[in-house]
Structure 1
Amino acid sequence: MRPLAGITVLDFSTLLPGPLASLLLAEAGADVVKIERPRTGEEMRNYAPNWGRESVNFSLLNRGKKSLALNLKDPDDRQALRPLLEKADVLIEQFRPGVMAKLGLDYETAAAINPGIIYCSITGYGQAGPKRDLAGHDLNYISDTGLLSLSMGTSTAPVVPPALIADIAGGTYPAVMNILLALLEKRLTGKGRRLDVAMTDNLFTFMYWAIGKGRASGQWPGNGTELVTGGTPRYRLYPTGDEKFVAAAPIEEKFWQTFCELIELEPGLRDDAENADTIGHRVAEIIRSKPAEHWRRRFAGKDCCCSIVVSIEEALADPHFKARGIFEHMLINEEGARMPALPVPIDAAFRADPQTAIGAPALGSENDELSKTSGRGPVTQSGETAQ
């Protein structure tokens, strides 16, 4: 028995935050039904590159789900959803505030049908506040909260972060955590709950140290000026002689001293409490004097918190990650091709057998079943009822 077996989730979301949240629930055993628009489905189905007939992004994010193709502006299609709303444990939506209300699918309406429903709304700025209706993407959210200002490169070389921090860390993960908390609460009380997950709200947690410093000392961190943003020689990326990088993070004194010994930094330059800039420049000179492989061998087996930056392809081939088994779960497409499923932060004990290949749903895969449940005629891919 997987932990969420028997839990039904209706997922109205698209793209990344909501679909990844429902993927985590599906991987733990929940029955997830995606509600998609007819003919084209959700946007992610059309993202390049394809893997077989479907977008590889869609395939990775929607493993093990079902699909209903419905026109939510059609009263008959919304009425066909009622049997699912009556039995659903969780509803996830990611529209701008007010959109679900216009469709007659807001929390109040859903709760009147099913008082135990856990209704999770994921948005950039939340259901209330002056910015609630603003359009935005990840870069806007980390910009508006000050997170980007801590490490954004220079005016001549601005840096866009490599991960969608707000979408996943501010949206997906808080949504899943709060859904699970609400499911526990429901077990005790029998009542559902409205969850307002604002991606921007949840980014401030990541800046605990920056907020603490500013409020306690009145000195607010700048761009790349602090311990974990490159403001010290002890936490920095150093180019090697062959244009690769050493990721050096010997923050603690014992690691710093080991690092200094390994790179043979002059003894007079090892106290970085003074002349940090001079020391940083000298460390950079030393690291650049040798290729990455030299430093890889030099740091191997030593406690100095240093590594060589590798490519994604190299990381996927790392024996450590293979030994951990994080790529054992399999994804399959409609043509029968297989690839490793997206690694997710769900313990393997809670997921399906790794050797069971599981695919993403074809658009409208559950429409026939919905027709039987709702008592209406077959629903076509155009969203119309066949006569």
Structure 2
Amino acid sequence: MSETSHAAPETTFLKGVKVLDLSRLLPGPFASLLLADMGADVLKIEDPRGGDYARYYPPLVDGVGAFYASVNRNKRSMTLDLKCAQGREVLERLLEDRDVLLESFRPGVMARLGLDPQGLRERFPGLVICSVSGFGQSGPARDRAGHDLNFVARAGLLDQNARAGEAPVVPGYQVADLAGGALYAALGICGALFARSRSGEGAWLDISMSEGALSLMAPAIAMRAAGEAMAPGQGMLSGGLPCYRVYETADGRYMAVAALEPKFWEALIGALKKPELSGRGMLSGEDGEEVAAELASIFRSQPQSHWEQMLGEVDCCVEPVRELGELVDDAIYQARNVFFELQGVRQVRSPVRVVADGNDVAAHRPAPEHGEHTEEVLNALGYTSEAIDALRRQGAIAQGSEGVSVAGGGRSTP
């Protein structure tokens, strides 16, 4: 599929909202991607010396990292050295008509750069500042380094991501970065903008990725406090019941059974012709393991394709466990045009859709080259060519290296 042939859902909820994004890698850029996909004008501010590290993470497609391309579409990029007085001056001029400032430095870095959020709030009272960090802007761990695995470990999610009696399993996706950080950042920004539309006042949002991950544990924490042991792999929603777990098939694949409600369990055992299991899906302990063992034996008797075809028409909450390489061909996602190609990279469409006829009308813009829009932005601020050249000489912006190809694809060098 060509880059220009795909049409994306036109979500213009944030049209006119101007976002400055100082973040890099995943949590911040994914948050600003959500905003950009809803129509916000996201200007990505990158260091002149290479920019976002994710640009160079392999695999590269036409010189740009697929990782980077997947989370930076629909944005613009300019280079600014925030350690340079002239770079900070440009940033502050940009803030005069920006609505949102998103950053993911460690707490205290913005202040050391002369961009203390409290001071910015006083100078730009309508500005929404969103700070995404590992452990928050206060507390004993505010300066602690960390990555997704650290955050889900500290929040208890990793402990629960295990079979009974076995070690925790590293998740195959970034729970804290994406759900705990990016989603809460985007949600908080939208909420703050809504409040500002009524009061005129901006806000400083403190988004802790570890707390975001912890919030996903709210039901488990409540149940534990009420007396439920919630041991890993033994809870109602963590594999402790035969009606809610994963079963291996004859070909080494898996089926996910989530027949929690009695009607779904009865539909499942009816399709499997096992009436003797009626009413036994919610059993736990040894009795539950006996039921699970019988189901395991049944599912191991046939390959995944057999069960998918057989149970696909039965309303029983059973789905095949898809492998990563199979997702693009999944009939459900194909029917809803979830995947598309941009910059030669397979991308996932925003799940925020407007239900209306003719929904697919707006084309996505590819992720920007390093500093691609620097001069465009500076010209809009009133900088002359001579002033822009001076910024280059002072090191405030890249030294004319924007757009130099890494592998012949028009991408900048690190």
Report the TM-score, using the length of structure 1 for normalisation.
Answer: 0.91
Could you say which structure has the greater relative contact order, defined with CA pairs below 8 angstroms and 6 or more residues apart?
2
Distance in structure 2 (CA, Å) of the matches to 1:370 and 1:308: 49
**Residues 13-70 of structure 1: CA distance to partner in whole angstroms, max 9, x if unpaired?**
0111110111111111111111111131111111111111211111111111111111
Tell me the CA shift for residue 377 of structure 1. Answer: 2.8
1:363 partnered with 2:370: yes
C-alpha distance in structure 2 between counterparts of 1:92 and 1:187, whole Å: 19
Match of 1:271 in 2: 280
The answer to whether the 8 A contact 1:37-1:71 is kept is yes
Q: Distance in 1 between matches of 2:111 and 2:327?
A: 45
Q: For 1:249, give the aligned amino acid.
A: A
- d(CA) in 2 for partners of 1:259, 1:381: 71
Deviation at 1:382, TM superposition (A): 8.9
1:239 is displaced (CA, Å) by 0.6
Q: Deviations over 1:129-151 (max 9, x none)?
A: 11111111111111101112112
Aligned to 2:40: 30
Unaligned runs of 5+ in 1: none
Q: 1:188 aligns with which of 193, 198, 205?
A: 198
The aligned counterpart of 1:14 is 24
Cα deviation for residue 340 of structure 1 reads: 5.0
**Letter in structure 2 aligned against 1:358:** R
Q: Which residues of 2 match residues 206-355 of structure 1 at below 5 A?
A: 206-217=216-227, 219-265=228-274, 267=276, 271-272=280-281, 273=283, 275-327=287-339, 331=342, 333=343, 338-348=344-354, 354=361
Task: Work out the CA distance in 2 between the residues paired with 1:305 and 1:353.
Answer: 30
TM-score w.r.t. structure 2 length?
Answer: 0.85
The residue correspondences of 1:7-86 to structure 2 (distance < 5 A) are 7-86=17-96
Compute the displacement of 1:364 (Å). Answer: 1.1
CA–CA distance in 1 between the matches of 2:201 and 2:275? Answer: 66
Find the aligned partners of 2:364 and 2:215 in 1 and give their Cα distance: 37
Cα distance 1:60–1:349, how it changes in 2: closer, same or farther (>3 A)?
Answer: farther
> How far apart are residue 365 of structure 1 and its match?
1.6
Q: What letter corresponds to residue 337 of structure 2 in structure 1?
A: G
Query: In 1, distance between residues paired with 2:360 and 2:310?
Result: 41
2:26, 2:134 → 1: CA distance? Answer: 12
Aligned residue for 2:388, secondary structure, equals coil
Which structure 2 residues correspond to residues 159-178 of structure 1 after superposition, within 5 A? 159-178=169-188
C-alpha distance in 1, partners of 2:393/2:31? 26
From the superposition, tell whether residues 353 and 256 of structure 1 become closer, same or farther in structure 2 (CA, over 3 Å): closer
Whichever residue aligns with residue 234 of structure 2, its letter is T
SS in 2 for 1:19: helix
Partner SS, residue 102 of structure 2: strand
| Other structure's SS at 1:91 match | strand
Aligned 8 A contact 2:160 2:168 in 1: no
Q: How big is the shift at 1:370?
A: 4.0
- Displacement, 1:355? 5.8
| 8 Å contact from structure 1 (residues 34, 67) kept in 2 | yes
Instruction: Name the CA shift for 1:355/1:382 in 2 (closer, same or farther; >3 Å).
Output: farther
Name the amino acid aligned to 1:305.
Answer: C
**342-351 or 4-13, larger mean C-alpha shift:** 342-351
Q: Quick one: which of 94, 114, 131 aligns to 2:104?
A: 94
User: Are residue 205 (structure 1) and residue 211 (structure 2) matched?
Assistant: no
SS of the residue aligned with 1:87? coil
Number of aligned residue pairs: 380
Which moved further from structure 2: 277-286 or 266-275?
266-275
Distance 1:361 1:203 in 2: 30
**Which whole-Å CA distance do the structure 1 matches of 2:376 and 2:246 have between them?**
55
CA deviation map 1:158-188 (0-9, x unaligned): 4211221111111111111111111111111
The answer on whether the counterparts of 1:85 and 1:110 sit within 8 Å (CA) in structure 2 is no
